[in-house]
């Protein structure tokens, strides 16, 4: 599994003006730095390839804000050829005109050579803006980028926009959406999670990347931010405990005899249950069950989750087998 995952990592590229928040995003999402400590981070001054050992094992290339990467001396093929998504970070609290100019130039340049790249615009640092101002800025950015691109003859560009801040879950939510577009098995995973929630009386189920807390899939019911935040916070609690007592995640080995994957559930006052199960070394399932009878049905839930765990691991195994066949020139 590890070898295959490393080969297939979707790659993200983080770009934007200096001080827009790129290093902070990388540190908070992928290295668990508390957001307030980013105040003391050094701004990005060089290209950083940051390789993470998570389920996706994707890389974030953190670029200096002012770098002219379309300079002829720059190997654009090297930079862009293997990228799934370009994340463009805009500081919503600052004057962003120059950033928009650079963004549209970049999109136009990519359009001819790398049209497959998803451009994901993070309208960032929205934490101190009130709702009305936030909506105005968002609209202004979408409008100006769209107008500029259509003036240049580029209609329907492959660009998405997200409101983000490192001070709440919005940055994780945005990355989840970015990553989901890069997972070919997403439909199958969603179908499996739909079956699970329907059969087990769950309100919502997420499949999270344990290291980054980015969710790689969920069932297709609407997302309630409060539930999402509860599920994502629960991972930290459980992972801290399992790491402490049993399991050296980074070393990929277990200490002594134990169940291979951690499992935990917690029932709160109104009978609501949060249920967590590690699916494999990188992924965990977190479900929210808003039913006072959940405690009595725990056996059924355990069983259903176990079946889904096998199915999810199968989905990835099958993909790799297919790729092996293709690599060996066998017809599938
Ligand atoms: P970079 O040059 O693009 O890497 O920018 P940095 O990551 O160094 O961030 C510049 C400043 O923006 C730092 O002081 C961060 O604390 C701050 N910052 C980053 N993200 C946010 C955010 O979501 N909200 C707020 N209010 N400040 C942020």
Q: What is the 3-state secondary structure (H, E, C) of the chain?
A: CHHHHHHCCCEEEEEECCCCCHHHHHHHHHHCCCHHHHHHCCCCCCCEEEECCCCCCCEEEECCCCCCCCCCCCCHHHHHCCEEEEEEEEECCCCCHHHHHHHHHHHHHHHHHCCCCEEEEEEECHHHCCHHHHHHHHHHHHHHHHHHHHHCCCCCCCEEEEEECCCCCHHHHHHHHHHHCCCCCHHHHHHHHHHHHHHHCCCEEEEEECCCCCEEEECCCCCCHHHHHHHHHHHHHHHHHHHHHCEECCCCEECCCCCCCCEEEEECCCCCEEEEEECCCCEEEEEEECCHHHHCCHHHHHHHHHHHHHHHHHHHHHHHHHHHHHHCCCCC
Q: Which atom of ligand 1 is nearest to the CA of 24?
A: 7
Which of 44-53, 198-207, 209-218 is modeled with the greatest confidence?
A: 198-207
Find the 128 Cα to ligand 1 centroid distance in Å.
Answer: 13
Find the 19 Cα to ligand 1 centroid distance in Å.
Answer: 6
Query: In this predicted structure, which of 42-56, 104-118, 168-182 has the lowest mean pLDDT?
Result: 42-56
Token digits for 150?
């259509």
pLDDT for 249 beyond 60: no
Find the 125 Cα to ligand 1 centroid distance in Å.
Answer: 7
Q: Which atom of ligand 1 is nearest to the CA of 164?
A: 23
- Whole-model pTM? 0.83
The predicted model gives 17-44 an average pLDDT of: 83
Name the band, by pLDDT with cuts 50, 70 and 90, for residue 145. Answer: very high
CB under 6 Å to ligand 1: residues?
16, 18-24, 38-39, 41, 43-44, 65, 124-125, 127-128, 165-167
Confirm if 64 and 18 have CB atoms less than 8 A apart.
Answer: yes
Q: Which of 19, 31, 60 to mutate to test the pocket of ligand 1 (most atoms within 8 A of CB)?
A: 19
pLDDT, the chain, mean: 82
The confidence score (pLDDT) of residue 285 equals 95
Higher pLDDT, 314 or 254: 314
The confidence score (pLDDT) of residue 252 equals 45
Find the 34 Cα to ligand 1 centroid distance in Å.
Answer: 12
pLDDT for 5 beyond 50: no
The predicted model gives 142-158 an average pLDDT of: 93
Q: Among residues 25, 9, 12, which one has the least CA distance to residue 91?
A: 25
The predicted model gives 39-65 an average pLDDT of: 61
Higher pLDDT, 273 or 246: 273
For the chain, what percent of residues have pLDDT higher than 70? 76
Q: Which atom of ligand 1 is nearest to the CA of 43?
A: 8
Name the band, by pLDDT with cuts 50, 70 and 90, for residue 238. Answer: confident
Query: In this predicted structure, which of 26-30, 101-105, 120-124 has the lowest mean pLDDT?
Result: 26-30
Atom 12, ligand 1: residue with shortest CA distance: 21
Q: Which atom of ligand 1 is nearest to the CA of 41?
A: 8
Residue 125: partners with Cβ closer than 8 Å, 6 or more residues away: 21, 91, 92, 93, 165
ipTM, 2 decimals? 0.99
- Measure the CA–CA gap between 62 and 127, rounded to whole angstroms: 22
Q: Which atom of ligand 1 is nearest to the CA of 171?
A: 23
The confidence score (pLDDT) of residue 289 equals 93
Find the 63 Cα to ligand 1 centroid distance in Å.
Answer: 14
Find the 9 Cα to ligand 1 centroid distance in Å.
Answer: 27
């Amino acid at each position: 599994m590890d070898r295959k995952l490393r080969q297939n990592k979707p790659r993200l590229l983080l770009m934007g003006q200096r001080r827009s928040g790129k290093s902070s995003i990388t540190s908070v999402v992928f290295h668990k730095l508390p957001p307030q400590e980013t105040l003391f981070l050094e701004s990005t001054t060089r290209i950083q390839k940051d390789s993470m050992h998570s389920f996706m094992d994707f890389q974030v290339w953190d670029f200096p804000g002012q770098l002219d990467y379309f300079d002829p001396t720059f190997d654009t093929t090297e930079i862009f050829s293997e990228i799934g998504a370009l994340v463009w970070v805009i500081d919503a609290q600052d004057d962003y005109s120059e950033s928009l100019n650079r963004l549209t130039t970049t999109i136009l340049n990519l359009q001819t050579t790398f049209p497959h790249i998803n451009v994901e615009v993070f309208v960032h640092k929205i934490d101190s803006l009130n709702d009305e101002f936030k909506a105005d800025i968002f609209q202004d950015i979408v409008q100006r980028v769209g107008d500029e691109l259509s003036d240049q003859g580029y209609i329907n560009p492959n660009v998405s926009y997200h409101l983000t801040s490192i001070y709440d879950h919005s940055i994780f939510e945005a990355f989840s959406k970015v990553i989901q577009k890069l997972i070919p098995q997403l439909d199958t995973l969603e179908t499996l999670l739909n079956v699970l929630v329907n059969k087990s009386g769950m309100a919502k189920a997420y499949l999270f990347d344990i290291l980054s807390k980015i969710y790689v899939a969920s069932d297709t019911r609407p997302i309630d931010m409060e539930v999402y935040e509860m599920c994502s916070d629960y991972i930290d609690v459980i992972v801290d405990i399992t790491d402490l007592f049993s399991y050296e995640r980074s070393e990929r080995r277990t200490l002594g005899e134990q169940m291979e994957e951690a499992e935990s559930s917690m029932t709160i006052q109104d009978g609501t249950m949060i249920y967590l199960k590690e699916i494999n070394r990188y992924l965990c399932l977190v479900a929210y069950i808003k039913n006072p009878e959940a405690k009595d049905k725990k056996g059924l839930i355990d069983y259903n989750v176990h079946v889904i765990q096998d199915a999810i691991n199968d989905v990835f195994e099958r993909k790799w087998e297919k790729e092996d066949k293709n690599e060996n020139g066998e017809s599938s």
